Amino acid sequence: MEHFRALLLDIWREACRHIEIGEATSLIAPRLAGYLPLDMVLIRRLDLQRSCVETVGVGICGNQAAPEHTRNNLSAEALDALLTLARTDEILHFDIRAGQPGVPGIVPNGIAADVLVGPLTSAEGPAGLLILVARADAVFDLAAVGLIRQLIEPFSVALENDLRLREMRVLREAAEADRNSLLTKLGRQDFSETIVGAQGGLKRVIDRVDQVARLDVPVLILGETGSGKEVIARAIHTRSRRSAGPFLRVNCGAIPSELIDSELFGHERGSFTGAIATRKGWFE
């Protein structure tokens, strides 16, 4: 493995630099081709709920086109064999052209070559497959088998990062759909505060809001409890140049007096007894 040390360092760098597995795979494949008779690198994600594997990353090194079928359904026997493969960390090596046995469905349709398959895992268990496809005129040797064992960990990390990215996208799309649905029900375009009386009894207050919102100065808002101080603060923020930035509401009355400076302005580790870590204050 000393021969592959620089290559593995390079692969770790690319796997961690690119959050999308497809981009990482396309950049890593040409680097591997300098050491292996490689035609293609495939990353396939395992979906246990649907009993299928889906291609999520493709790196082309030779003249072969990317597989057209990105998803393969797995039989119960194939799924069980795949899970056994993941538990034992076994590397499969078979030549599809020679009709050698493999796990049905784990390699995309249309590929006829010598193939290496390694299981990718995450903290939750089996996550996918790393598949190396040899050139049409070549087969993988023992050195290639040893190398794919070293590639399992960086590609597992890359696949898990990609999975987290997909989950965040799904959650964001769901939240956006809920937001749009609620806006439709309310008959509104956005959730900006509507101040009742802005054109009536509160007109003088709104005029002052418009006046100070354009300035880069602190604003002190006074009023009785429940009179709408936070509503006015949000109105100033919405009309200001900082409207695209965060609006933080901090209830200073709930902060003990001896901690107010630490909560608002933060502190460094060791600056006082109990400061075991650096903490950013609300202003920062």
DSSP states along 127-140: EEEEEEEE-TT---
Q: What is the reported pTM? A: 0.63
How do residues 126-149 score in pLDDT, each as one tens digit?
888 999 998 888 889 888 888 888
Percent of the chain residues topping a pLDDT of 90: 4
Write 192-199 long-range contacts (CB < 8 A, 24+). Answer: 192/238, 193/231, 193/234, 193/235, 193/238, 195/228, 195/231, 195/232, 195/235
What does the pLDDT read at residue 188?
63
Q: How would you classify the pairing of strands 125-134 and 114-122?
A: antiparallel
How do residues 217-260 score in pLDDT, each as one tens digit?
889 999 888 888 888 888 888 888 888 888 888 888 888 887 88
- 93 SS3 class: strand
Counting every residue, how long is the chain? Answer: 284
